[in-house]
Amino acid sequence: VSVVSRDLSGKSLLVYGQNRVGKTRNLCKLPKPVVLAFEAGLNAVAGVPFFNMQDWKTYIQFVKQITDPKNYERAKQMYQTIILDELSAMAALCEQYVCTKFGVQSLGEKKKTASGKDDFTFNGYKELDKENQKWMRKLLAAGFTVAIIGHEGTRDFKDVNGAEYTKIVPKGDKRVVDAICDAVDIIAYAQPNAPDANGNETPSSLVITNTPRVLAGSRFDYMPKFIPEFSAENLLKAVEQAIVEQEKQEGIKAVS
């Protein structure tokens, strides 16, 4: 029987936005973090354990090790939050791995059979999706908090009347990005704010509701739609309050 915890344990989130809105700095303040560094994002953050993800095989090795029953209890003592930094760099390594594995230069290239003919059973884009989802599902199911950091991009959509509009979305290969957006519990956009009256930088905010302008959302019905000041403490508090409200409204009993 499924249960709900009051904290971020076992939950997953994607936080994306422009550079220097506090994504890495704030997420590294979540409980017992470890960073899978697909890019150099820790230059201004000290004291955080990390692993350089030099290629996709390194990522596979990490997921295998941390989810191995022989290592699991020790891993849980060391780490609670696994941070993947950053989504588009991660997608690029996955694409590179798939191309090398199947001996093609790009995902759209036709693979040749042993006789030199086109192999119509091969689809590089499907292989990319399959490879990404295989290891992401394994990581998300392991009971850690998984926090994915993304850059801000845009994508064009059409409304019900066929009119086009542009929306802010996580940057990266559409196949990888969309699969991860479907998998995580919370998608939050780190929105920059104007400087204060003295010209000093102000903390960013978190948008957690889907709008025509921004892709965001949460599986938790009582999660706030907006967190005025983005911090690890405020994010944890928002999740806890959402679960407490769910207990009140639905009569469930949350667990630690």
CB distance 99 to 105 below 8 Å: yes
Spatial distance between the Cα atoms of 75 and 69, rounded to a whole number of angstroms: 10
Q: Is the pLDDT of residue 42 over 80?
A: no
CA torsion, ordered 43, 183, 13, 84, to nearest 10 deg: -20
Return the structure tokens found at 162. Answer: 């066929």
Range in 1-10, 71-80, 122-131, 216-225 the model is least confident about: 1-10
CB distance 170 to 14 below 8 Å: yes
Tell me the CA distances in angstroms from 52 to 35, 56, 123, 159, one per residue in order. Answer: 8, 11, 30, 41
Residues contacting 8, CB < 8 A, separation 6+ = 30, 31, 81, 145, 235, 236, 239
Spatial distance between the Cα atoms of 75 and 64, rounded to a whole number of angstroms: 12
**pLDDT-derived band at 133, boundaries 50, 70, 90:** very high
Q: What is the pLDDT of residues 216-251, one digit of tens each?
A: 999 999 999 999 999 999 999 999 999 999 999 998
Q: Is the pLDDT of residue 86 over 90?
A: yes
Query: How close are the terminal C-alpha atoms of the chain, in Å?
Result: 15
Q: How many CB atoms lie within 10 A of CB 235?
A: 23
Angle at 195 between CA 194 and CA 198, to 5 degrees: 150
* DSSP per residue, 180-197: HHHH-SEEEEEE-----T
R_g of the chain computed on alpha carbons = 20
- Pairing of β 118-119 and β 111-112: antiparallel
